[in-house]
Amino acid sequence: MILAIDMGNSNIVIGGIDNTKIYFLERITTYTTRTELEYSMYIKGILDIHGVNPKDIEGAILSSVVPPLNETIRHAITKITGLECMLVESGMKTGLNILMDNPKTVGSDMIVDAVAAMDEYPLPLAIIDMGTATTISVVDNKGNYIGGIIHPGLRISLDTLSSKTAQLPQVNLDIPKKVIAKNTIDSMRSGILFGHAGMMDGIIYRMEEELGEKLNVVATGGLAPFVTPLCKHDIIVDDSLLLKGLLKLYIKNQ
């Protein structure tokens, strides 16, 4: 089993995975002020909850979009397991041809998603990752990563709406029953969720027009189950896409 960690701006996804199965998948909040010891306690706690002995972990790999925390997390993993944690960065073997103006600037999470998705789903692909930002990446029918979009995430949009308007409250993300809402809270919920679904559908339609072919669509991220049921496109939700991509990268770069 390897310890696969994806660090985003809002959450850190921590999982145990090998070629046979996923043993656990958990999320903790990303805080740049937490120390190496604090993160080691959180990670050790997750292992304990799932009955995993640190000695059973053969390796570790980290994908991150929060560079200031990279060494903190890597040292925390070493403290628990005694292993050096691999970091997803430019120069790694990915098996992915990245056709971008500057390939080194592509987020490591987007690369990891693409590596996993192109190995499991038919090309061409649109890969949606719904976290702090909503990203949609495209892998063409030849297996090239050809680009995508970055959009403000669902939670950012909702928090901004509440914080910048005096009379609008915080709301949860229950899936609305109707688009035309009858009260303020349902109106906010409908606007955010149906609006985000409409954005995703609209972007995918435009991508398909640009490519001249239909895209297979897969979505991941903690917010994907709230939005994908409202989309017109058929979207496969794969919550473990990042973990599977991290495992593939770990094996390629051993």
Q: What is the CATH number of the domain that holds 162?
A: 3.30.420.40
Per the annotation, binding residues for ATP are 6-13, 132
Please tell me whether residues 135 and 221 are part of one structural domain.
Answer: yes
Please tell me whether residues 83 and 119 are part of one structural domain.
Answer: no
Number of domains in the chain: 2
Structure tokens at 32: 């740049």
pLDDT tens-digit map of 105-117:
888 889 999 999 9
Please tell me whether residues 108 and 231 are part of one structural domain.
Answer: yes
Does residue 250 lie in a domain region?
A: no
Please tell me whether residues 113 and 157 are part of one structural domain.
Answer: yes
Per the annotation, binding residues are 6-13, 107-110, 129, 132, 184
pLDDT at 71 over 80: yes
Please tell me whether residues 75 and 188 are part of one structural domain.
Answer: no
Would you state the pLDDT for residue 249? 94
DSSP output for 99-155: -SSSGGGS-HHHHHHHHHHHHHSPSSEEEEEESSEEEEEEE-TTSEEEEEEEEE-HH
Please tell me whether residues 21 and 43 are part of one structural domain.
Answer: yes
User: In the predicted model, what is the mean pLDDT of residues 211-235?
Assistant: 93
Is 18 labeled as catalytic in the residue annotation?
no
Range of the domain at 193: 97-241
Give the pTM: 0.86
Catalytic residue among 56, 109, 140, 174: 109
